[in-house]
Amino acid sequence: MVGGVMDYERLKERQRAERHGYPENLGLRVHRALSWLHRAEQLANAGDVDGEFIFLWIAFNAAYATDIEEKYRESEQQTFRGFLEKLTELDKARKRFDAFHAAKVALGRQDTVTVLSIVLSRIYVLRNQLVHGGATWDSSVNREQLRDCTNFMAKLAPLVIEVMMDHPQTLWGQGTYPVVT
């Protein structure tokens, strides 16, 4: 994408060079997340903000979702929070989370995870609205909010993938719907 907001090509090149060293579950997550990031980038170039947002969410979901037994399943919000805690802990240098650090300072807090959890819970409402048919494609309603959320996700999804690739030995959990042959 122009301006480097989403950087599928750079991440894909890195993934190809490193994937032999990834544990199977990370390899699957990164591969899937990159495929959806690529599709989101294609839609961004075509001007389809609705589709871009949905595919960015899928890329994010492919990275963070885990396959666990129903009786141990946490609420989606708790899962988000746990994943964000892991990401921010691994990215201690804040070399890629400067925007989140700025938000944290602007809010007068030192809790990046809470800030991201709040933002993502609001974005999740928009995701539900689109995915469950509560919106019209390319509608004039809520365009500004959709663009803002899409811009945020276009930054977050590649960052998540990159942090995961930086830490291949971290226990990310079993990816959802493992490949069955």
Range of the domain at 99: 7-166
> How many domains, the chain?
1
In this structure, which amino acid lies at residue 37? L
Residue 177 located in a structural domain: no
Helices 112-131 and 98-106 pack at an angle, to 10 degrees, of: 110
> What does the buried/exposed string (b/e) look like for 58-68 if buried means 16 or more CB atoms within 10 Å of the residue's CB?
bbbbbbbbbee
Residue 114 located in a structural domain: yes
- Indicate left, alpha or beta for 109 from its phi (over 0: left) and psi (-120 to 50: alpha): beta
Residue 174 located in a structural domain: no
Residue 60 located in a structural domain: yes
pLDDT score for 3: 46
Nearest Cα neighbor of 83 from 176, 178, 179, 177 is: 176
Instruction: For residue 94, count other CB atoms closer than 10 A to its CB.
Output: 14
DSSP H helical segments within the chain, as ranges? 8-18, 24-46, 49-64, 76-90, 98-106, 112-131, 143-166
Residue 181 located in a structural domain: no
Instruction: For residue 112, count other CB atoms closer than 10 A to its CB.
Output: 21
Report yes or no: 138 and 50 within 8 Å, Cβ to Cβ: yes
Residue 4 pLDDT more than 50? no
pLDDT tens, position by position, 91-146: 766 555 655 565 666 567 667 777 787 788 889 989 999 999 999 999 988 899 99
Residue 142 located in a structural domain: yes
Percent of the chain at pLDDT above 90?
53
Residue 138 located in a structural domain: yes
Residue 88 located in a structural domain: yes
pLDDT tens, position by position, 61-83: 999 887 655 555 556 667 777 87
